[in-house]
Amino acid sequence: MANDREILREVWEGKLPISFQLDPDEVVELQQPDQFYLMVPRLSYFPLVTDKVRKHFLRYVANDKQDREMWLEYDGQPIKWHYPIGVLFDLLITSDDQLPWNITVHFDKFPENQIYRFNNKETVESYFMACLKEADVLKHRGQIASNMQKKDHNQLWLGLQNDKFEQFWAVNRKLMEVSSEQEHFKYIPFRCYIDDGYRQKLIKPVAEDGRRKTLQDLINEMFPGRNVNIKTHGMIPPLETPLQWMSEHLSYPDNFLHLCVQM
């Protein structure tokens, strides 16, 4: 049961300072635009928070490029918008000294073969809902999410979009409940980010002998014989943390545990 609101609150409150700057090659104005600073929630997605950024930089680029999609780049790599911001930060930034996070904004030359296109927020929403449903399938065979009404989906989405903790968790807590006959989820929905992608595996929160599995068990199952560090939400959780609890409390809004693997 996700009832430890203190933890949930702390996780929800996590925000990152980001400094956006326009690619100097795309500036057509005489004056270089100022950098745009923004505090973004770790749990959100970039397309949901960059409206202001886009608006700020729009008048500095050529007229024919203003209608194009804005994309972000850090350290020469296009940022995958479909990852939650906190995950991206944990993956790309290794030390806290690099705060605020400097991200370059582009309007031109969209890298189509590296990141997905997103036309509007609906694209993001559908992706988010798809993840949510996938997680529900793993946890409850998809019964809860599919039984939900449309307005519940909307409430989830709007709660995330508007950074409304109460609004979000009023619905999300249903997804985090365990069914009456079972004490735990069927499988733990998680993603282990390694190299350029992520890996998933069906892992049950409890062992066959009824023992509750911990993070250590997950690492052992995922990377047998290897000593790896797991990072999530900007911290390294203790290895003895139970998976069921982690899934309930440290999952991102899409109900997945996003674990960054550090070799």
Partner 1 sequence: MATAEVNWREDILSKLQERNRFQTDCFQDLIAQHNKIFDAVNALKHENLQLSIQNEKLRLDGDRAGGGDSRLHEKIQCLEQKLLTQQEELTELHRRKGENSQQIIDLNAKLQEKEKLIVMKDISLAENAAKITSLQAEITLFDRNNKELKLLNEALRDEHQALHLAFTCLEDKLRKLQDENRQLVERLMNYKTKDADRMNEENENFLKKRFAKMQKEIEEACRDTRGVSPEDLQEGYGPSCQSTIPTKACVKFDAHDGEVNAVKWSPLDRLVATGGADRKVKLWEISKGTCESKGMLVGSNAGVMAVDFDSTGTLILGASNDYASRVWTVADQRLRVSNSSRKRTDTLPRSRKRTRAVSNKCPPPPLGHPVARSFIAAVSGPAAA
Which parts of this chain interact with partner 1 (CB under 8 A)? 4, 6-7, 10-11, 13-17, 34, 36-39, 96, 99-100, 233-238, 240-242, 245, 250
DSSP state of 179: P
Closest CB to partner 1 among 19 and 220? 19
Closest CB to partner 1 among 41 and 78? 41
Q: Minimum CB separation from partner 1 for residue 142, in Å?
A: 29
Q: Minimum CB separation from partner 1 for residue 49, in Å?
A: 12
Q: Minimum CB separation from partner 1 for residue 149, in Å?
A: 32
Strand extents, DSSP E, the chain: 15-22, 36-41, 71-74, 77-78, 101-106, 190-194, 197-199, 229-231, 257-262
**Among 93, 87, 80, CA closest to 252:** 87
Closest CB to partner 1 among 99 and 202? 99
Closest CB to partner 1 among 191 and 233? 233
Token readout for 103 is 């991200």
- Cβ atoms of 198 and 191 closer than 8 Å: yes
Closest CB to partner 1 among 106 and 249? 249
Token readout for 56 is 């700020």
Q: Minimum CB separation from partner 1 for residue 84, in Å?
A: 15
Angle at 50 between CA 48 and CA 52, to 5 degrees: 120
- Cβ atoms of 149 and 110 closer than 8 Å: no
Closest CB to partner 1 among 7 and 170? 7
Q: Minimum CB separation from partner 1 for residue 168, in Å?
A: 18
Please give the backbone phi and psi of residue 235, each rounded to the nearest 5 degrees, phi first: -145, 160
3-state secondary structure at position 121: helix
Sign of the Cα torsion 6, 12, 14, 17 reads negative
Place of tokens 């249903």: 174
Q: Minimum CB separation from partner 1 for residue 238, in Å?
A: 4
